[in-house]
């Protein structure tokens, strides 16, 4: 199946207890598409960068099998920049700087070739822009959306509007509580599913991820206990990319297959955090992904 | 296999957002043995109560298949009393009152019939008393120990002494960090295993439990997402009881079987929290335990 990924391509400044990167490739769509491209060779990207973005970096993405026809370059503006600093336990971070730049007036341009994609992953982005991208498409079979607390706090009406169009929502535990007004995650999931999504993924970081499906079905994918988490940036996007990548590869939207997709998502999330920014995702091989996935089988399966 | 459970039998006062119980049966060995008795019919108990304890309550335990020969009654003293209050999110609690009473000078008396038990579960208790109980036995094949932050803070030397005799330690995540001085749980587990136990279970409450075995093997049992947690008191003891109960029932200490035991432990923990104190554990049937265990299969297994 064909897969479209809409989101940001960015420069990030990162600081974690393991070190500092002043300027490194980033953005939700970059992470998401790199991750998904490890599962399927029909991945298109819709995003925007500025004149400061290197053609060689676009080529790097194309070399990974990502169709970059939908990556708009606005020559007289700068690429979106985000700078963040992680605390010692890696579970929380501060935003040090945000320069929206090209994102300020971003209107996603979905190429003709991408309009009929079967699956769309709308990565974390202003909900109104996510809606524009979705409306430019020919009713994809599966709409997967990621969001964050910023949009729950500031553009709730727009978020609720797109949630009505969404099949699968991915959100973290604190955001699920914020969006639903329920502390208990089972009740939060019920509340959020009433807003539109038939399937909900609640990400709990180092505590794994819950998949809430139809008829009260629940599945849980653990996080791999890691001795060293170098940089969590992009882990959620790689997680989402692994999820949709597996679905595109297998052409099966059943709950049982979404369980498998969640294990692939957890696999990609665990790989993403092992190096700074997208460094690990750029270099990881299919064999390494399969070996990591096997660790999850050991971790979670009982004979 | 025969199983001995050493720990407290108590009266508890409990307050949770769901209600209040002024005085209800409790204690680590009561919970642990009730849970284990759902798996095996060869469970002995070593503990102590005061003259205020009802013979009918002892009979209740015996009716559940627990051999209570090792339950000492000190007629002129009072039973151990603990009163606690849980916060809204149920993840933290305050101790309101502790009356040690019979525990103050407790010397565990292990009956002859219990000295040769194959497995001993040393429930949460002063480490020096746990050691006395262990020394009174004829070298059991498997020693499982539970402990808490109080003993790490106050009687560390005694705790380290008994850890050298232990095969399996169960401990929660914050206590694992406190004992090891490592925030990362993989590193904490390595540090604690160097203190003696060859297998370590780190309990993460609503986030499940990790089993660290030989040669770096790791297994994870999820917690069942529950809409209502009525009272977490005793959940850790029921968890430990399910773990040793399964091992006693199956007579197999391999890591693969400990994985299964951890799923049974998680099953019993999820049942324990559904009512106040031991109310649910007293009434739950084998059929309900099997049905709950099946929910864990749905939750964690991928086809």
Inspect the interface and report whether the beta carbons of A220 and B217 lie closer than 8 Å.
no
Tell me if chain A has a CB within 8 Å of the CB of B218. Answer: yes
pLDDT band at B31 (very low <50, low <70, confident <90, very high): very high
Tell me if chain B has a CB within 8 Å of the CB of A204. Answer: yes
Contact list, A225 vs chain B (CB under 8 Å): 185-186, 210, 218, 220
Q: What is the ipTM of this complex?
A: 0.90
Contact list, B303 vs chain A (CB under 8 Å): 256, 259
Tell me if chain B has a CB within 8 Å of the CB of A87. Answer: no
pLDDT of residue A100: 94
- Measured CA to CA in angstroms, residue A70 lies from A58, A107, A126, A129, B141 at distances of 11, 12, 18, 15, 65
Distance between CA A270 and CA A266 in Å, rounded?
A: 6
Tell me if chain A has a CB within 8 Å of the CB of B215. Answer: no
- Higher pLDDT among residues B265 and A90, named by residue: B265
Tell me if chain B has a CB within 8 Å of the CB of A300. Answer: yes
- Interface A-B: count of C-beta contacts within 8 A: 76
For B97-134, the pLDDT digits (tens) are 999 999 999 999 999 999 999 999 999 999 999 999 99
For A32-82, the pLDDT digits (tens) are 999 999 999 999 999 999 999 999 999 999 999 999 999 999 999 999 999
pLDDT value at B88 more than 90? no
Closest CB to A256: pick one of B186, B256, B303. B303
Distance between CA B84 and CA B104 in Å, rounded?
A: 19
- Measured CA to CA in angstroms, residue B218 lies from A295, A301, B118, B225, B293 at distances of 9, 11, 25, 22, 21
Residues 50-79 of A with CB under 8 A from B: none
Long-range contacts of residues B98-101, Cβ cutoff 8 Å, at least 24 apart = B101/B50, B101/B77
User: What average pLDDT does the segment A120-128 reach?
Assistant: 96
For residue B270, give the CATH number of its domain.
Answer: 3.40.1190.20
For B177-194, the pLDDT digits (tens) are 999 999 999 999 999 999
**Is the CB of residue B108 less than 8 Å from the CB of residue B28?**
no
Enumerate residues 6+ apart whose C-beta is below 8 A from A297. B302
Contact list, B192 vs chain A (CB under 8 Å): none
B146, β-bridge pairs: B170
Alpha carbon of A168: minimum distance to chain B alpha carbons (Å): 18
How crowded is residue A86: how many other Cβ atoms within 10 Å of its Cβ? 20
Return the sign of the alpha-carbon dihedral for residues B186, B188, B194, B196. negative
pLDDT band at A151 (very low <50, low <70, confident <90, very high): very high
As a 3-state breakdown, chain B gives helix, strand, coil percent values, each rounded to 5, of 40, 25, 35
- Look at chain A and report how many structural domains it folds into: 1
Specify the 3-state DSSP secondary structure of A67.
strand
Within 13 Å, how many C-alpha atoms sit on residue A65's CB side?
A: 16
pLDDT of residue B87: 86
Distance between CA A66 and CA A5 in Å, rounded?
A: 10
**Is the CB of residue A78 less than 8 Å from the CB of residue A51?**
yes
**Closest Cα to residue B145, out of B161, B130, B156?**
B130
Structure-derived torsion over alpha carbons of residues B115, B121, B125, B126, reported in degrees to the nearest 10: 60
Tell me if chain A has a CB within 8 Å of the CB of B89. Answer: yes
User: What average pLDDT does the segment A166-190 reach?
Assistant: 97
Distance between CA B298 and CA B300 in Å, rounded?
A: 6
Enumerate residues 6+ apart whose C-beta is below 8 A from A33. A5, A43, A45, A61, A64, A66, A241
pLDDT of residue A73: 98
- Domain housing B261: 3-300
With a pLDDT cut of 70, the percent of chain B lying above it is 100
């Amino acid at each position: 199946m064909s897969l479209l990924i809409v989101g940001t391509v960015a420069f990030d400044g990162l600081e974690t207890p393991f070190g500092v990167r002043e300027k490194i490739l980033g953005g939700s769509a970059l992470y998401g598409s790199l991750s998904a491209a490890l599962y399927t060779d029909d991945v298109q990207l819709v995003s925007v960068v500025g004149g400061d973005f290197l053609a060689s970096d676009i080529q790097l993405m194309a070399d990974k099998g990502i169709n970059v026809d939908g990556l708009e370059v606005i020559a007289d503006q700068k690429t979106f920049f985000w700078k963040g600093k992680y605390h010692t336990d890696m579970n929380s971070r501060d935003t040090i700087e945000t320069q929206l730049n090209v994102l300020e007036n971003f209107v996603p341009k979905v190429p003709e070739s991408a309009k009929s994609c079967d699956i769309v992953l709308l990565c974390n982005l202003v909900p109104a822009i996510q809606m524009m991208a979705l409306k430019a498409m020919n009713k994809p079979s599966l709409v997967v959306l990621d969001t964050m607390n910023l949009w729950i706090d500031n553009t709730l009406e727009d978020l609720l509007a797109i949630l009505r169009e969404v099949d699968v929502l991915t959100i973290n535990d604190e955001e699920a509580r914020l969006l639903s007004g329920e502390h208990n995650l089972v009740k939060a999931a019920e509340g959020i599913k009433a807003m539109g999504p038939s399937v909900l993924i609640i990400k709990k970081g180092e505590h794994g991820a819950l998949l809430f499906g139809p008829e009260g079905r629940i599945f849980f994918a653990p996080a791999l206990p890691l001795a060293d988490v170098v940089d969590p940036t992009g882990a959620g996007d790689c997680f989402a990319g692994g999820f949709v990548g597996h679905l595109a590869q297998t052409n099966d939207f059943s709950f049982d297959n979404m369980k498998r997709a969640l294990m692939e998502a957890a696999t990609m999330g665990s790989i993403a955090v092992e190096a700074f920014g997208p460094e690990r995702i750029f270099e990881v091989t299919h064999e390494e992904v399969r070996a990591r996935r096997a660790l999850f089988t050991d971790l979670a399966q009982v004979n």
